[in-house]
Every structure is written in C-alpha cells, then in structure tokens.
Structure 1
C-alpha cells in the first residue's frame, strides 16, 4: 500500500503559514513596523494605498541589512532575535518567530531596499510569490525600505474576504497607533493615497497621546504612577465625564508591546466603580514594565495576549493605583478630614445673633370695600398732565356681580314662553357608541416596553423600541435618498472635537448627513462646527449620535453609496429611537402605532427583528380552557 502522507512544498507551506500571520493589510503593517523598531530606527514612514490592498511600504533609517541577511530574512524560521528556547522568556524585541517576512513574500509582490551605514552600496531584492525574481546592487540611503504590493494576488478567495477600504484602513490606523504609542521616542509618519494622515515627532508619552487623539485630549488625562517589585505602572487614564460608548481609546502596553487583556480591563473598570454612566467605557493608556521572565508572550499567533505569572497581585496593584490617582486629582469622591478655612464663620459674626424677619400687616385693608374710579381732573383734560385724586388704584362704581344682569329685560312673560328646553334622551346603555368605540381601540403601555392594542381578531403587542427604529429608519433613508429634509438652525453652533481618522470619516459621510438635516458650518483639522440639526434631534444628542455613528461605520462600511446611506440611516435610527423604560403618553402610543403601520415594512425592525406579535381570540380561549 502506497503512503498517503507527503511533505508540503515550501510555497504551499508558506501560504498556509501566511493564513495565520497575515489576515489583512493591517497584519503586514504590524510586522513591518515592529521590524523597523527592532532595527533601532529613529524615523519610520508608513505609506499606504487603497487601504493596503495595493501598497504597504515602510521606510526606516535603522541599521539596515547585509546582502546575506537580505536573502536570509525571507526564509522560514530565520530570525536574529533568539538562539535557544530559553530566549523566549527574556525577550526585549518584537518579532522573533521568523515567519512574518516569509509569509508576506508568499502572498504578495515584495520589494526590499536596504543598506548598512558602513557600506557604500545597498541591496535591491524583488520577490513574487516566494520566488526571487531579481537581486542587484544599488545606491540607497541608510536603512531599509519594504514595499508589499498586490496583497493576496495569488489567493483571490482571501482577497474577496477583505472588507471595504474604510474598514481596512481603520485596522491599519489601529496598528499604527499601537506601535506609535509604545515608542514615543521614535518619529512616525503615515500617508494614505498621497495625503498625510499623521506626522508624529519624537516626544514624551503625554505629547504622543495628544498628537494622535487631538489637542483636547490633554485636559482629559489623569496621570497614573506606581512602582513595586512585581510591576512598574505609569501612564494615564481619562476623567469619568469623558467616557465614551465604545472602547476605542484603551491601551495596555507591556514592555513596549501592545496587548489585550480582559483581566486587566476588569481591574480598570473596578477602579471606576460608581463613577461611570451605564454602558460607558473609560479611556486609558497604561504602560507596564515587568521582568521578562515573569510573562509568556508566545501564547497567541498575533502576540497580543500575554500570560502573567502573578495575575492576582497585578490586578490588585492596577486597581489600587488607578483609584488612588482618580482620588488624588479630585476626580472621585474621597473622605477629606482637613478643614477648609473658607467655610469657617468670620470672627466679626461669631457673637452676633441672627436677625429675625419681621412681618407687617395692613389692618385697615378690606377686600370687600368698594373702590372708587380715578376722577380725571379738568387740568388733565386740558392737557396739564396732573390728576386731582391722590389715589391711583383702579376702582369701579358697582360690584362685579351686578354687571352680569345689565341689559336683561323682564318686561313680558312672552319671551320666557319662547325658550325651548332640550329633552334628555334615556338610553338603556351606560355608555354611548362613541365611548365604546374609543374604549375598544385604546392603547396601553406595559412595563414601559410594550404597547398593547385590541384588534378585531384579538390582541396586538408592539415592541416600542423596535417599532420606533423602523419608523425613524425609513424617515432618515427617505431624507437621504430624496435629498430633502427639514433642519432647525442653532442660535449657538456646537463645536465638537475629533481625531484625524474620525474627521476623515465625517467628511466621507458629510453629504448623507446633510441630507438628513445636519448643517456643518466648518470642518477643521481637529473639530467640526454644527449650525443646524434634524428636526427630531436635540442638541444634547448630537455628540452621542455622531460618536455611535462613527463607531458603527468604522466597524463595517459597505462599498456602494446606497449601502452606506443605509448604514447611516440604521445607525441614526438605533441612536435616536425611544428606549425601553421610557413612559409614553396615550397620544404618543397611538401615533407610534399609526406610524408603524404606515411604513413599507412594518413587520421587522431595520435589524430584522420582529416589531410586533398578535394574539388571536382563539389563542386566548385556549389559555383559559385549561
């Protein structure tokens, strides 16, 4: 019997390994940026086209590579970071597996230009699908330039699974920010489709955070610092009033490496206990320095998860240090036993008694007295401008009740005979037909969540949140497609601050937002000015609405303009729809029922959830037939 197990060819093995290492263009960005950092570069430039699908290029001024290293770096399991298995527990660098460049070269067109400082000439390599197509000597600047073009050109199925350019570029920005935050002493630049997105000079940690997330971030930060034998913690957390609905500005950096840790995140949330609104997330930029032999970073292919030796002690230190910082900077309430001298009673008032208030009563006042009309003097009528009476109170000559009977004639009894009286009709029912009809079609609200209305066949139960989402979704979608919506102008325009990536997304959907009723007076490099709002949007809801809209579109933005408008309408409907727990008046309930069944698809919400159910009389009879 012939053997059925065979060794895979190198190019197939590299493509399989690439599936673990390279999931999207952002994975290439991460590997190349970390290699540039390990090369001791002081200036790193990232150039991206079409969200990395066409080009990802990283240029650095680091050590560079020799001719032999330039060829050897594309081989599998070739690395300069480790020699023994024990080295995995004393790592001070980023990449160490030796599979990244080999995996990238297997699924893209790679061009490498590198030169060491002591060499006069450098090396220029071109690789297509793990095959070296050319190698030549060239005049190059010091450092290394990696160009990755046409990602997944030989794996079209993987390329089809990529999201839209907006989503993929957002992942690239995330990786860029993580590396840039971990190395504030290195200058970083990011260019997308020829335009500069970030230009971050070498600075300290606080300035790097401000340069990435905008100038208004500086006032949100609260410093955190703690030093123990187990860990050294430093960084910043944001004040509770600046908490957001999403988890965008949350970074744990351990030994200059970004990680994700739900356990440490829970420690931060425990420190904010009682300070945050429901559903809000604080921002934090926490840098941890721990001994390399106390962590294991080789437990996940992307190296974003770390195993700590003593997690319980780290949890306690993290929670207490953040809670101490929030209390120290008067962000959270603390017990203060020191007396504030400004609240003391002055010495001049120490022996002074309190002055009791006096009440004055006019004993001559008679509310039933007849007031006299002011008499106009002859001098007033002649134009002298003076009154003869000293009193200016309004008076009348007769009591008010007598004026009710003036003009009524009681001369004859014939007028009284002509008066017709309506006879009361006696019916056998306690309620008339109109009252019965109103009682039948009356709506009721149950648990501030459902609207119940009787119908001919039984009972109608409506989910008020989903129903309102459907109503508002069709309204916004109609406004966007028809490009005509009413707008209410603001007396004082709103100024909202965002970072660069969020502003680019607002510019992209500016036309669709304007069709819904938004009016943007200005879109600057770090803020926007809103001068008009849709009719059903209040000023307090604008920042929350745009924040949730940006978050939704960053996760998944469809390619076509109609689909993008659909996503905007869905996001706005979800943000502005009435929530569960809101008490609705009877008129609001009836209006929601009528508006729901006036929609084109009243059966489901914009997110394909049922908006109402019906219970027939037969179903109710079966319930009582037990």
Structure 2
C-alpha cells in the first residue's frame, strides 16, 4: 500500500475545480456573479469556440486593488464573508472564494482590474498554476477576466466537453438567467466575433420579453404574493404555452438561480389540473425571503439550497401559482375586454345582459346553469325590443344580437354551433371558437371541487333508484366503501351479491350515465385506495365525475344554452383549459380573418 502524502497544490486546485467548473458555462456563471457583486452596471462577454478557446468578461464594477489580485486567485479568499455568522445570512451571489482559483487551475487566466483609487490598472497572469506579479495595464474602471484553452492541461476532462455549439448554448443559458434577474444591468454577448445578444437596462417586464420573446409575455399571468417575510413575484405561462421540456423554467431565490425539487413539485402541483399529459410549465419567478431562512452553502456550484421550513414554503408557492392560474378568462386576458365586465353585467356574471335577446330556457339551461325564470321569461325578452329566435333547432343567432353593440363580454355572444362540437361566438376582437364538452367539463369539475371542499353537496334523490349488475368484487368493494361514496355525494345500496342500486347522486350529476359513472368511480377508488382517495386521488375522481356529466358531442344546444355556457366559463376558475390541460377556446381576431381572406390586398 502506498504511503499517505499531501497532494501538490496545483492538483488540489484541479480536483476542487471539478466541483465548481464543469464546462465554460460554469466559469461564466461564477465570473458574472463576481461582476454583479462588484456593483457592475454593464457586462460584456466575448466567447471563442463556445468559450472553450477563449472567454473574456469585462465589467465596470468597483474593481480589485493591486495588492488583492493575487489573493483573489487563491482558494477560499473572499471579501464576501468573514465569520460563521456571515455564512448564515448570505446576501451576495459569491462567497466561497473558489471561482477564480478554480478557473485558473484548469485554464490560462489573465486578470486585469482598476479601482477608483488607483491611477491605472494592474494585471496578473496564471499559467499552469504559476502566478505572475502584478504589472501595470491599460483599463478604465472595472475588471477584465480572460480564460484561455479550458482543460488544455487536463486532457481527461477536456474530452468530456461537447461540441462548440453545445458549449455556447450552455453559456447562452447562463446569460439569460443573469439577464432575467438583473434588468438593471446591461449585458452583451459576442460569439466568434459576432454580436448575439444585447440587453440594455430596462424594467423586468421588458427584460423578460427581450430574453424569452413576445409570445411568452403574451401568454402569462402575473404573480405578486406575500406572506410574512416571504414574497413571490414574476410570471407563469398559461397552460396553452406549455413546453415539451423544462427549458423555460427560471426560479430565483434572493436573486440566485436555483434548481430545487421542493419548488419544482409545488409548481407542478399547481399546474396539475390544467397541464396536459407530459407537458412542462414555463415561468419566471422571483422569491425573496430572509437570508437566515435559506442555506445556500450546500453545493460548490451554489445552484442547490436548503430551506428552514420547506413545507410552509411549498404550500405558499403552490397556492400563489394556483391562484394566478385560477383567474377567469376575463382577468387573465384583459386584452379581450374594453369596457365589458362588471359594469356591463352588474346583475349576474353568469347571465347575458338584458339588452340581448335570448331563447326560452330548456331543462339543460336551467338545471346546469341555474338561470332563473324571471330573467328569461317572455316579458323580459320582449323588453329588449328584440324578437328572439324561438326554435331550439335553429342555431344561427338573430342579427339583432350583434348590431349596434359597443362591447362584448370576454368570450362574446353565441352565433351558432358547428357540427355539434364547437360553439361559435363573436366578441370585440373577432371570432371565438369553444369546445363545448371541454368547457362544460371544467365548469363541472370546479363546482365539484368547491362542493367537496365546503362539504356542501346538493343531493338529488332519484325517483326510481338505478339498479344494475356488477361483479362480486365490485359489490364487495362498494359495500366496504359506502361511507366514502356518501362523502362524494352518492347513496349506494347492496341488493344482492351481484346487484347494486344508486338512490341519490350529487344534483349536478343527475344527467350523467349513473351506471357507468358509478363503476368508473369504483375503479378509481380501487386504484388509489380508500384511505388516499380523498387526498391523492381526489381530483382524479372528481374529473371522472365531471367528464361523465359534461355536454357530449353532437348535442344540439340553443343559443340561450350556448350563451349560458360562455358566461359560466367567464366566471369559472381555470376555464381556459379542460381537466386534461387541453384548451377550451380559441380566438381568431379580425386581423387574422382579414389575412385569411386577403382583405386589403
């Protein structure tokens, strides 16, 4: 066995560097953090071959004094902290004192800097671990860090670097993160002599738009929530903007970009009801909290942190994101409305204004949308001065519905029905197409959730109990869970070892196929287990219930029913997506229609 001995200093630094600098992008991150900590307001980045050949970062920060240049290149030398107490309340991005030492251990580095108190700049170089003495250099206020030939002296590490394009993309991602969190700093990025990005100083909204694009900003809901000393701000993309990967997920804690499973889970859960299958949400969120409640000294790369009270933080983030996504369409899409809203519909958000003609209510209209007779009786319609269409099989709205009307509700008023699947409506912007089953499914789902949360099921006793055959296993399982069925609004009875009877159901579900619905709920309970069905499997069961009850394709609706559905959508949380995350409506504005028909050309 070989004798134990102290490793050479250069080898120690190279080993340590592997934890901090995995690729050029890692070095770029560390240098940018140092520039920000030095109060820089402009940072210029120049890369050659994806940063592998050369990386040059110039800032206008406070600079490094001559006698501090060599210590700055020594491991665990830092101006950010000086005691254990400081480590428990870190406010700077850097604090470990490893960045420059690690970078110089795996590349040839040149460090040039000037402070306000110096007559000129000073420069030191590091080649294969050997540091030169400071010498005069030409530079205005600030610091320049140049790193050449990454891992040239460590071939085993260099072979793990990817292509120039891949390494550049990682560097670009680092810039985007820093640009998002610091709109008060100007950034430029050159690659192989070409300017790729330039972000001037601006506000956070314009910076997000510059980094992630206008399409993203047009598809987001804002968040600004505070509880005690915790504050969450930023934007979350609506589910229709969901991504195939996590490439548009930016979360910052006290201005530090982090990846954390707890936070990722909280956000994913908030999107659970509205995100389709394996799609990923997009967001830019900034969490501010007391530094003493966060431990950032978990990993050398500083992208992982620990929280003092993770459970409370999880709930705070979950509810903040869920609340933002739950806003009705008229709030999440204010561009769809000019003066429509409470002033144009003061009597009830679920009813069309009285100045529009509507048809007489049908059973579906009254039972599902709860519009009272007084509003829709003959005299009320007559008062509008509009001769409404009385035939339920005629699906084209009277022209008087849309003439001389300055404003519409967000989703407009129904014009007709297409192939028994879509509702066509007109709003201020143009044409709105609604998937009636998906929309009704979401409405029922939200009502069922609210009823379960408040334990206020409205039970409907069936005039004739629904009796049906079931296999012995289902009957036994149903008998074991009669109380659970009662909790979700069903009254079941066991008539024989192979016969079940349903005597009562939630009133909102009385139009459903009771037999199929009951059997499907049984399967859901068996899958999740009776002890978890009202927690983990709760929403899945309610989604099943709403799906069975929602309006089916090829169901002919009257204009009144269509308008009632539109008003319900506007008053329902998360109405822009069905329970499976698919969109419930789509708008084609007049400009889009004009383009389709080449008007004006």
Query: Would the TM-score normalized by the shorter structure come out above 0.5?
Result: yes
Give a deviation string over 1:482-514, Cα, whole Å, max 9, x none.
xxxxxxxxxxxxxxxxxxxxxxxxxxxxxxxxx
Offset at 1:46?
Answer: 0.9
What is aligned with 1:465?
none
- Aligned in 2, Cα 1:149/1:350: closer, same or farther, shift over 3 Å? same
User: Is the 1:224–1:233 Cα contact (8 Å) retained in structure 2?
Assistant: yes
Distance 1:342 1:145, change over 3 A: same
Q: What is the rounded CA distance, in whole Å, between the counterparts of 1:223 and 1:354 in structure 2? A: 41
Q: Distance in 1 between matches of 2:5 and 2:330?
A: 64
Q: 1:354 to 1:110 in 2, by over 3 A?
A: closer
Q: Does structure 1 residue 102 correspond to structure 2 residue 135? A: no
SS of corresponding position for 1:64? coil
Q: Which runs of 4+ in 1 moved over 6 A?
A: 351-357
Q: Return the offset for 1:29.
A: 0.4
Alpha-carbon distance, 1:338 to partner: 3.8
Kindly provide the CA deviation profile for residues 257-307 of structure 1, in whole angstroms up to 9, marking residues without a partner as x.
000012211211222222121111110111000101111111112111111
Provide the secondary structure at the position in 2 that maps to 1:328: coil
Match of 1:339 in 2: 349
Structure 1 residues 25-47: Cα deviation after superposition (integer angstroms, max 9, x where no partner): 11110111111001100000111
Q: Deviations over 1:363-390 (max 9, x none)?
A: xxxxxxxxxxxxxxxxxxxxxxxxxxxx
Aligned Cα RMSD in Å?
2.5
Question: 1:303 maps to which residue?
Answer: 302
* Aligned length in residues: 355
**Which residue of structure 1 lines up, in the alignment, with residue 425 of structure 2?**
none
Q: 1:281 to 1:16 in 2, by over 3 A?
A: same
Tell me by how many angstroms 1:182 deviates.
Answer: 1.6
Tell me the residue number matched to 1:66.
65
| Superposition deviation, residue 341 in structure 1 | 5.8
Judge conservation of contact 1:275–1:332 (CA < 8 Å) in 2. Answer: no
CA contact (8 A) 2:105 2:129 kept: yes
Is this contact kept in 1: 2:381–2:388, CA < 8 A?
no
Change (3 A) 1:348 1:188: same
Instruction: Quote how far apart the aligned CAs of 1:232 are.
Output: 0.5
- Aligned pairs (5 A) from 1:76-91: 76-91=75-90
Q: Classify 1:355/1:52 alpha carbon distance in 2 versus 1 (closer, same or farther; 3 Å).
A: closer
SS at match of 2:216: helix
Distance 1:299 1:246 in 2: 26
- CA change 1:189–1:108 in 2 (3 A) is same
Q: Give the match for residue 139 of structure 2.
A: 140
Cα deviation, 1:527-554, whole Å, max 9, x if unaligned, reads: xxxxxxxxxxxxxxxxxxxxxxxxxxxx
- Residues 214, 87 of structure 1: alpha-carbon distance in 2 compared, 3 angstrom cutoff: same
CA shift at 1:138, angstroms?
2.2
Shift of 1:343: 4.1
Matches within 5 A, 1:204-353: 204-328=203-327, 330=329, 338-339=348-349, 342-344=352-354, 347=380, 349=382
Cα distance in 2 for residues equivalent to 1:62 and 1:356: 75
TM-score (ref. length: structure 2): 0.56
Map of 2:159 onto structure 1 = 160
Query: Equivalent residues in 2 for 1:420-431 (5 A)?
Result: none
The structure number with the bigger radius of gyration is 1
Shift of residue 193 of structure 1? Answer: 0.6
Whole-angstrom distance in 2 between the partners of 1:315 and 1:71: 43
The residue aligned with 1:525 is none
Judge conservation of contact 2:69–2:134 (CA < 8 Å) in 1: no
What secondary structure does 1:118 align onto?
A: coil
Q: Would you say the 8 A contact 1:61–1:144 is kept in 2?
A: yes
State how far apart, in whole Å, the 2-side matches of 1:273 and 1:122 are: 55
Q: Which residue of 2 aligns with 1:472?
A: none
**Cα distance, 1:107–1:354 mapped onto 2, change above 3 Å:** closer
Separation in 2 of the partners of 1:201 and 1:141?
Answer: 20
- Contact 1:102 1:130 survives alignment (8 Å): no
Structure 1 residues 550-608: Cα deviation after superposition (integer angstroms, max 9, x where no partner): xxxxxxxxxxxxxxxxxxxxxxxxxxxxxxxxxxxxxxxxxxxxxxxxxxxxxxxxxxx
SS in 1 for 2:218: helix
Contact 2:61 2:142 (C-alpha < 8 Å) held by counterparts: yes
TM-score with structure 1 setting the length = 0.54
| 1:168-179 matches, cutoff 5 A | 168-179=167-178
2 CA distance for matches of 1:313 and 1:7?
Answer: 46
Residues 230, 314 of structure 1: 8 Å contact kept: no
Q: Contact 1:250 / 1:285 at 8 angstroms: preserved in 2?
A: yes
Asked if the contact 1:296–1:306 (Cα under 8 Å) also holds between the matched residues in 2, the reply is: yes
Q: Secondary structure at the match of 1:145?
A: strand
Aligned ranges 1:503-542 → 2 under 5 Å: none
Give structure 2 stretches of 5+ with no counterpart: 333-341, 358-379, 392-601
SS in 1 for 2:75: coil
Residue 133 of structure 1 and its aligned partner are, at CA, apart by 3.8
Q: How far did residue 327 of structure 1 move?
A: 2.5
